[in-house]
Amino acid sequence: MSRIDDRFADLRQQNHRALIPYAMAGYPDYDSTLKIVRGMVKGGADIIELGFPFSDPLADGPTIQNAATTSLNIGMTLSKYYSMLDEIRDITDIPIICMTYSNVAYSVGYDRFIYDMQKHGIDGIILPDMSIDESKEYRDISAKYGMDTIFLASPNSTDARCSRIIEVSDGFLYLVAVYGTTGAQMGVQRYAIDALLRIKGMSRDLPVGVGFGIRTGEDIKLYVKNGADALIVGSAILNVVRDAPHDIETSVSRYVDTLKRETTEGA
């Protein structure tokens, strides 16, 4: 049982769903990221997704692209990312997922990358451009270090494809709720609900998280009603940060709290 598995087991007992807010490490700067994370914990986040920037984030819309550029421009590196994780681990044992792109892991070497991530308290990894077909070595090494590999499914993934994704995913399956990049299109699409129902029918014990385009409590309520086990909120958090540069921790905490209220069925 990983820390992510434990968290889902606890939530299930309380009839809660997981709220997973996203921050980009180094956006708007190093210290502010720590404030954002504290705000998330205070606001009731269940798991945190901490992005590591990549120069060419082709699954991301303008908000996360800009955050990545800012982070790289202020000199974010893997060693700074690890120091940041160490500081976060001093204040919380919340499960943390690293999201970045395949080349970051490949470039450092899968073994070195996953070992370091694990050592600094990362519980799971999301690489949006790591197709399951190319993932054998990455998964084998992750298994060696007890790292959860979270894979994505899309509304246009066939049943056969979804079965394979479910088979290789640890922690949870990440359903991409829109045709598009992160944050580019807000709101809940009918096809996303259909995909959620279809995948929930196949996923058995593996929790299903939904992300891309979630902004409001209403969005969350709709996904929860249709069986989502986790809700991932990315670009909307970064927009809150952008709009409240002087009071980041409180703004994030309030926003996360508002969303968290909707993660209990019938709330």
Partner 1 sequence: MSKFGDFGGAYIPETLVPAVEELQQEYARFSQESSFRSELESYLKDYAGRYTPIYHAKNLSKRIGGAQIHLKREDLCHGGAHKINNTLGQALLAKRMGKRRIIAETGAGQHGVATAMACAALGMKAEVYMGSKDVERQRLNVYRMKLLGADVIPVKAGSRTLKDAINDAIRDWITNVNDTYYLLGSAVGPHPYPTMVRDFQSVIGEEILEQMGVPDVAIACVGGGSNAIGTFHPLYNKSTKLIGVEAGGSGLDSGLHSATLSAGRPGILHGMLSYLLQDDTGQVLETHSISAGLDYPGVGPEHSYYKDSGRVTYSVATDSEVADAFTTLCKTEGIIPALESAHALAEAIKVAPTMKASEDIIVTLSGRGDKDMDIIRRYYEQN
Q: Give least dist CB 184 to partner 1, A.
A: 7
Q: Give least dist CB 117 to partner 1, A.
A: 13
Q: Give least dist CB 39 to partner 1, A.
A: 27
Q: Quick check: 154 binds partner 1 (CB under 8 A)?
A: yes
Rounded Cα distance between 256 and 33, Å, is: 15
Piece of 129-137, 202-210, 213-221, 247-255 that binds partner 1 (CB under 8 A) = 129-137
Piece of 87-95, 102-110, 203-211, 243-251 that binds partner 1 (CB under 8 A) = 102-110
**Distance from the Cα of residue 147 to its chain's centroid:** 15
Burial 102-125 (b: 16+ CB within 10 A, else e): bebbeeeebbebbbbbbebbbbbb
Tracing tokens 């994030």 back to the chain, one arrives at: 252
Q: Quick check: 164 binds partner 1 (CB under 8 A)?
A: no
Q: Quick check: 152 binds partner 1 (CB under 8 A)?
A: yes
The single residue among 32, 92, 102, 216 that binds partner 1, judged by CB under 8 A, is 102
The single residue among 42, 161, 254, 261 that binds partner 1, judged by CB under 8 A, is 161
The single residue among 179, 239, 242, 267 that binds partner 1, judged by CB under 8 A, is 179
Q: Quick check: 108 binds partner 1 (CB under 8 A)?
A: yes
What is the total count of residues that contact partner 1 (CB under 8 A)?
A: 41
Q: Quick check: 158 binds partner 1 (CB under 8 A)?
A: yes
The single residue among 157, 169, 203, 263 that binds partner 1, judged by CB under 8 A, is 157
Rounded Cα distance between 11 and 46, Å, is: 9
Q: Quick check: 156 binds partner 1 (CB under 8 A)?
A: yes
Distances from the Cα of 123 to the Cα of 26, 74, 109, angstroms: 20, 26, 18
Q: Quick check: 115 binds partner 1 (CB under 8 A)?
A: no
Give the residue numbers annotated as catalytic, written as ranges: 49, 60
Q: Quick check: 73 binds partner 1 (CB under 8 A)?
A: no
Nearer to partner 1, 59 or 186 (CB): 59
Residues lying near partner 1 in the complex (CB under 8 A) are found at 53-56, 58-59, 61, 65, 69, 72, 77-78, 101-108, 128-131, 133-134, 151-154, 156-158, 161, 165, 176, 179-181, 184-185
